[in-house]
Every structure is written in C-alpha cells, then in structure tokens.
Structure 1
Amino acid sequence: MTSVTSLPADDNSCGWYHLSQQRQPTAAHRGHSQAPWVIVGAGFTGLAAARELATRFPDQVIILVDAQEVGFGTSGRNAGFAIDLPHDIGAPDYIGDITIAKKTLKLNLSGQAYLKELVQRHAIDCQLKHCGKYQAAIEPKGIAILDAYRSGLDKLEQPYEMLEAQDLPAHIGTHFYRKALFTPGTSLVQPSALVKGLADTLPGNVSLFENTPITSVEYGRKSVLKHAHGSITADKLILTNNAFAMSFGFLKGRMLPVFTYASLTRPLTAEEQARLGGKPYWGLIPAHPFGTTVRRTPDNRILVRNSFSFNPNGRSDPRYLARFVKRHAASFERRFPMLPGVPFDYTWGGALALSRNHEGYFGELRPNVYGALCCNGLGVTRGTATGKLLGEWLAGERNELIDFVLGAVGPNANPPSLLVSVGVNLNLQWGQFKAGREA
C-alpha cells in the first residue's frame, strides 16, 4: 500500500475562482465503487481525458475524482494564457530543433482548438478572447531575447509584429516598455470559469466526485484508492494530478512544485480606463522568464503576476502572500503611474509542476496505471492536449501527436532533496534578481 502523504491545500483568495459563476460542487465520494476507468485530478488534463474516454466508451462509467473543488485548484489559478507557440528557453533562438518545435506547435494548437470548440459548443462563459499576446522588454538583455525569439519564429514561419516604444501605448496604455513582440495566436481566458464550465458539461457517463482526497493506494491487477469515507477500485487508473503523482509513488524526485503569485485589481472606473487607454483587453508576458506577467481583463481589471516559491509538499504557504503582494503593488505602480491608488481585490498563489529539463510525462507508469503529468507551466493548452491524447491512446488509437508525446524523454531526476530545496530557492531568487526592471 502506498500512503499519499501530500495533498492539495490551496489558499482561499483566488480572484478567478471568486469572480467566476458559482456552482454547486458535486458530492464527495462515499462508500465503495468500482469502475473500468478512474482518473485522479480534475484539472485541464483530467477533464480532457475523462471527456475523451467517455466519448470513446459511452457504455462504461468513468470516475473522476479531485481533492478539492473544480476550479479552485491549480487549473483555475494560472494567468489564463492559452499559448500556441513553442518557447524553448534552453535554445539560443527559443525554438531549438525545428522538427520538435513544429510538433510542439501542432500539439499546442490541438489543445487550443479543442478548448475553443468546447467553449462554443457548450456556451461556456469564460471570457475567451482570441487576441494574441505581447512579449515585452525594458532592458537591453530583454530586447536581445525578443530579437532572438523573432529569429526563431522566422525559422518556424510563424507571424509576429515587432512594436517599438512609441507604438505600445496604443496597444497596452502604459509607456513602461521599450519593445514588444506581438504574436497573434494566443487566446486569453478566465481559467477558473473555463474549468468549471468544462466540468459541468462532461458526458453523462462521467461520475465526478469533488472534495475527495485520496489517502492511500493499493496497486495490483486493479488499483484500490482509499479515502476517509470509502474506496474506489479501478481496472485502469489514470493520474493527471501533476506533482502530486509523486505522492502516489511515481516520478519521485523528478518534478518540482513551484508556486507563482498573482494579484487582481478592482474594476477600473470609466475615468481610469480613459486615463489608461490602449485596447480593452490584452495579455503581456515578460521577455525574461522571471519577469512580470500583466493582463487587462474584459471586465477591466489589471492582473499582475510575478514572484516564485518552491513548496516541496505542493501546498500553499500563506506567508508568501503577504510578502509578494507588496512586490505586485510595486510592479503595478511602475507600469501604471496613471492609475494611482487602484487597490488589489485578490492575491493568490498557484502551483506549477516543473521539471529540470522542461519535459513532461505521458504513458504507462506501471501495469494498468497511466499518466499525463508535468505541464511545465502550459497547462491550459498542453494539459488539454495531452489529456485528450491519453484518452485516444487508451482507446487504441495511434497518430503523429501520440507518438510524439510517447517518445518524449520525460522529466530528469533531481539532485538529493536537501540540495533541491537550497538550489531551487537560490535559483528562483537569482532569476528574479536578474529580471531587473521586468520584475
């Protein structure tokens, strides 16, 4: 028996969750159940896998369980960018091997297209806007990154527009940035609203149980998942719970639960909107990976996301919120001096499952146990795509994208745990320092 020693425990201050339409969570699981398919983790990946399996096997029951409420956890806490383009930060041009980059682009586009189709089909109210994204820089090293990425996009034959400082206020209002690379393929969403909508429109043969933390698992010909009020027996078990899969006994020491933090303002008044100017909604990511992500939402709020912490147990730590909201306020004031005194309504943290080599896992973990894990910060598109592909593969299909993700090398092993804690935290602090004015 494997005891699950680490369970999700996110803070209760996520703005996306509280501002999205409230829903009645499904009941927690009680008693003893058995099903051909059991999925642990009802985020983007698990929802896509459940939907695909339910479609492929309409006469079979698919059980989907989550330790928390849908839309409350990691999938509802990101910045809401459904990104299409590959971005290999280890390559000089941020594209790297062109063959891999083309398949990664195709993978991301498949997840993005699937989400758009579901939002349209089920009329999910999640502020989906296909408006592209800006990647912006202030300092020379950031501008050099944009120039390098532009050369990579040329190699990949993808469209973009380079915007100079004098052009940017018409797009994003602020004069803060010196240059930006605009790429048109990104969609922006309200992530918690999207996840809630996806959960509420699952096929009828999916049984969703929320607030059901699994406390132990017995592996064998079948897998028996136990919780405080019963058990669930799976013919085939699917893990889509990212770094928490390590507590289930898989990929131990190969994923890093890193938290990033965001704050969301109150809605801007009409007068404040006029002072800001620019487009009515947009999303901006920093040239430097440790810089600040900024969004103007369709309901006229400003999102600021920066700062990182390494939380080895994958659980929120309230000490960081009080510390990082001050950093968010400073970042906001530098970018938006025309909006003095605009307060934040919400500040929250959310986990990323990262690996040292930026690779995820897709495939069989042990007989009759499978996983699509470690999205490396691209959960909206990559998680959706790999979840759907996992359902297709388990239904017996093979195609170019399934072969691509099956052939990936998977996450690298980390150094010993003590070295990891020291090394990751030092690396995060150093990275944020190097981001300079982009922080």
Structure 2
Amino acid sequence: MTRYTAKALPRQPGVSGWVAMLPDRRPRPALLGAVTADVAIIGAGFAGLAAARRLSQLDPTLQVAVLEAGIVGGGPAGRNSGFIIDLPHEVSAESLGSDSATHARRDIFKNRTAIALAQGMAEEHGWGPEVFSLSGRYSIARGAAGDHHLADYAKQLEGLGEAHRLLDAEETARLTGTRSFSSALFTPGTAMIQPADFVRRFADALRDPVTVFEQSPVLSIERQGSGWQVTTKAGTVAAGRVVLAVNGHARSFGLLPRKLMHVFTYASLTKPFDPALLGGERNWAATPALPMGTTIRRLSGPEGDRILVRSRYTYNPSITVSDAALASAGRVHDRKLASRFPDLAGLPMQYRWAGAMALTWNSVPVVDEVDQGLWLAAGCNGVGATNATANGIVAAERALGHLSQLGQHYAEAAPARAIPPEPVATIGGKAALRWKEWRAGDE
C-alpha cells in the first residue's frame, strides 16, 4: 500500500508584518471526521488556492477540499513581498537572441496568466487597491553597475515591445523622497498585493462545493483503492485525486529527493512614521537592479507610512531558520534602511520574519504526477506569488486532463535537474548565495 507520511510540519520564523497589520483572523473550521471529495488540495497558499480556483472554472460541480496546516495567510504566502511580476524577474546584461526572446515571451505569458487569475478574483469580489492593485513596479539602482543593467534591460524590453520608462536620478529622488538611488526603471504590468490579506480573502471567496479547512495539517497521504485517503490530526478526506501544493514541504513527504534547494529570504517592516518626514510618493514598490539585492516597499496607512526592507538569503536544507539567522538578517536590514533613508534615522523595525522558497537546479517548476492521481506543484524559484500561482493553475488542469497553452509550455520545459548529493549541495548552495549577494553589492 502506497503511503506518504509527513516527517515534519511547516514552521514559520518570526512575525510577518503583513499578518500583524490585519485584524485577528477567525479561521475556517478544522477538518473533523471523514469527508469525501473529488479533489483534495494540500496547502492554501498561492498554488493551492489557484488550483482550487482553476478546478472550479473547469468544472464547477467538483467537490474540492482544501487543507491548510495553519491559518490561511500565516504560511509562506503571507510572508511574500507582494509582487505578482509579469516580466522576467532578473535583470540581465545579455542581449536577447531568438531563443532567449522566445523564452522571455513564454515567461511573460505564464506570469500574466497568473496575474489574470488573481485580478479576476479581485474584480469579482471588489477588493480595493490596498489588497490588489495593478500598479506596476520599479527596478531601482544605487550605482553605476545597477544603472547599466537597467539601461540594458530597457533595451531588451524595447525589443520585446514591452512598455517601460527609465527614471534618472532626479526623477528617482522625486519618487522615493531620497537621493540614495541613482536610477529606476518602471514597468506597468506588475500587480501589487497585501499578500496575507489577499490569500485570506481568496480562501474566503471560495464557495461550495469548495471547502477550506484551516488548522488541519496533513499527516499522511495513502492509496485507497483507485483514490487516496488524506489524513489530518482529526479527520480524513477520501479523494480520487490529490494536489500537493506545499512547495518545498513536499520533501517532508519523501517526494522530490535531490530536486529542491531550500532557501529562506528575510524581511523587516518599520513602525509607522509621519509621512511628512519623508518626501516622495507614499506608495511604491521596487525590486533591486541586480539580482539578490534589496527589495523596498513604501506603504501608507491610517497610522502613518511604513518601509518594508527585504534582503539576505540563506540555504537551509532543514527547512528551518534559527533565531540567530533572523536577528543577523535584521541587522543587515537596519543598515540598509539607514543608508537609503537618512531622513528616517533611528526609525525602528516593528516586525521581522523569514519566508521559505524552493528552487530547482535549472530554475524550472515541478508540476508532475508523482503517483497515479497524486499531483505535485513545487519549485517557485524565487518569484513566489507569480510562479506558485501558475504552478497551481497547471496542476489543476493536469489533474483534470485539460491541456491549455500554459500547460503546453510546461510540458515542453526541461525536467528539474538533480542537485548534488550532501554535503556538496549545502556547501555549494551557501557559497553560491554568498557570492551572488557579494556581486549585488549595495544594490
């Protein structure tokens, strides 16, 4: 009898500011007793919720049970920086040849498919811009190397026919309220979300015959006849098909050995400050000009404005983060805040947290049928909100035997390559992260 048993349950380091800024959630009831469903989805993050939505679009009569280990929004989705990005994420100095242009266009199609699903939910349920906003994003530079990359990327976007606007130092200062940045590149197609609020509302918007169970960690997935039995602490789901949408936590079930690299990234959020202390616009979001640099968001709210700083990456094959690692990243964030916003000198951080990512060696997603009727959605590869949503869409389609254009693109992609055995993987992973962060410098 085939049985996949969870060797560990997810643990979330630190306090996500996105969650802390929201009212306390009244969670959906936990799974109690035995229920049946056509499809069981494990995980109510971006991938799991997208899968539930897509299943309902393809067949509104399907009975779907969504099982969340904790409270919706408390996992990695609610620790995201809130960018659903439409364009290739990394700025590259390489020119776009025909093969890379084709790859870029496929990437853009995938990303915009994810955004369309999220936007459809937001528009259908009337969520305001504080939850979902198609407001675009900036890539922002702090020196000559970043300036060069942004200018080169702008040329690539021109070749792809994608809208964009370069900002010089003066325009960037008017945007940010500080002269600490040297240039910026604006692209209008990124959706910005309050990630914890977004996934909460998404889960609550799913209606019968889709049922969301919170505080229902899955302990095992076991073959039962032609289907599966999913067991939690207090109940079971008998389902013909299962979508395991837990990204790197799939390893805890013994799946994808040597296919996923487990990385954590870190964020801090300041206490509210009087917006008069800092000029510029009060709501903007910027990813770094160089990969592995620093992401910045300025958020306005009723208590004042806040700055979010995200940087630092660690390789964590145990899928856990120590308090010392969180504190160390926080000290880096404090220095980055002070150097970028001298007008806010002394402003303390209120919340610090880490969020898990799962990367594949060759940066491809893993959306596979790992056993008959058991589908896996994993490998967000660092652009979590976008890629996880797309992975969930494709997993749902494949579970129903539906082949879309997006699914065709996934089918034509190379398989995930095996990572080296231990201890080489950990030694190499840590060294690669340190080198990439060094290369990003102060960006």
Question: If the length of structure 2 is used for normalisation, what is the TM-score?
Answer: 0.93
Are 1:238 and 2:227 counterparts?
no
Q: Deviations over 1:141-171 (max 9, x none)?
A: 3223223322321221111112221221111
Cα distance in 2 for partners of 1:351, 1:37 equals: 26
Deviation at 1:89, TM superposition (A): 6.2
Cα distance in 1 for partners of 2:374, 2:210 equals: 19
Tell me: CA distance 1:103–1:250, structure 2 relative to 1, closer, same or farther (3 Å): same
Q: Which amino acid aligns with 1:386?
A: N
Tell me: CA distance 1:91–1:43, structure 2 relative to 1, closer, same or farther (3 Å): farther
Q: Which residue of 2 aligns with 1:213?
A: 217
Cα distance in 1 for partners of 2:172, 2:96 equals: 23
Q: Which residue of 1 aligns with 2:311?
A: 306
Q: Which residue of 2 aligns with 1:179?
A: 183
Cα distance in 2 for partners of 1:14, 1:94 equals: 38
Q: Which residue of 1 aligns with 2:102?
A: 99
Deviation at 1:78, TM superposition (A): 1.0
Q: Which residue of 1 aligns with 2:288?
A: 286
Deviation at 1:121, TM superposition (A): 1.5
Are 1:342 and 2:344 counterparts?
no
Deviation at 1:17, TM superposition (A): 0.8
Cα distance in 1 for partners of 2:422, 2:239 equals: 32
* Preserved contact between residue 243 and residue 396 of structure 2 (Cα < 8 Å): no
Deviation at 1:289, TM superposition (A): 1.2
Q: Which residue of 2 aligns with 1:26?
A: 28
Q: Deviations over 1:341-394 (max 9, x none)?
A: 211111111111111211101232221111222111222223223323333343
Q: Which residue of 1 aligns with 2:46?
A: 44
Q: Deviations over 1:115-148 (max 9, x none)?
A: 1221121123543232221112223332232233
Q: Secondary structure at the match of 1:437?
A: coil
Q: Which amino acid aligns with 1:87?
A: H
Q: Which residue of 1 aligns with 2:426?
A: 421
Q: Which residue of 2 aligns with 1:121?
A: 124
Tell me: CA distance 1:217–1:396, structure 2 relative to 1, closer, same or farther (3 Å): closer
Aligned match for 2:366, one of 338, 346, 361? 361
Q: Which amino acid aligns with 2:84?
A: A
Unaligned runs of 5+ in 1: none
Deviation at 1:306, TM superposition (A): 0.5
Q: Which amino acid aligns with 1:123?
A: G
Q: Secondary structure at the match of 2:346?
A: coil
Q: Which amino acid aligns with 1:341?
A: G
Cα distance in 2 for partners of 1:94, 1:23 equals: 47
Mapping for residues 39-438 of structure 1, pairs under 5 Å: 39-87=41-89, 92-93=94-95, 97-125=100-128, 126-219=130-223, 221-272=226-277, 276-299=278-301, 300-438=305-443
Cα distance in 2 for partners of 1:421, 1:195 equals: 32
Unaligned runs of 5+ in 2: none
Tell me: CA distance 1:180–1:93, structure 2 relative to 1, closer, same or farther (3 Å): farther
* Preserved contact between residue 361 and residue 408 of structure 1 (Cα < 8 Å): no
Give the alignment's Cα RMSD to 1 decimal. Answer: 2.0
Deviation at 1:106, TM superposition (A): 1.4
Q: Deviations over 1:184-204 (max 9, x none)?
A: 211211100000000011021
Q: Which amino acid aligns with 2:229?
A: V
Deviation at 1:12, TM superposition (A): 4.7
Cα distance in 2 for partners of 1:263, 1:104 equals: 29
Deviation at 1:254, TM superposition (A): 0.9
Tell me: CA distance 1:53–1:399, structure 2 relative to 1, closer, same or farther (3 Å): closer
* Preserved contact between residue 361 and residue 411 of structure 1 (Cα < 8 Å): yes
Deviation at 1:60, TM superposition (A): 3.2
Cα distance in 1 for partners of 2:397, 2:119 equals: 19
Tell me: CA distance 1:415–1:257, structure 2 relative to 1, closer, same or farther (3 Å): same
* Preserved contact between residue 227 and residue 373 of structure 2 (Cα < 8 Å): yes
Deviation at 1:230, TM superposition (A): 3.5
Deviation at 1:57, TM superposition (A): 3.2
Q: Secondary structure at the match of 1:303?
A: strand
Cα distance in 2 for partners of 1:112, 1:301 equals: 25
Tell me: CA distance 1:93–1:344, structure 2 relative to 1, closer, same or farther (3 Å): farther
* Preserved contact between residue 14 and residue 326 of structure 2 (Cα < 8 Å): no
Are 1:8 and 2:13 counterparts?
no
Cα distance in 1 for partners of 2:313, 2:363 equals: 17
Q: Secondary structure at the match of 2:402?
A: coil
Cα distance in 2 for partners of 1:352, 1:415 equals: 18
Which deviates further from its counterpart, 87-96 or 128-137?
Answer: 87-96
Cα distance in 1 for partners of 2:415, 2:178 equals: 41
Cα distance in 2 for partners of 1:86, 1:165 equals: 24
How high is the sequence identity, in percent, across the aligned residues? Answer: 34
Deviation at 1:205, TM superposition (A): 1.0
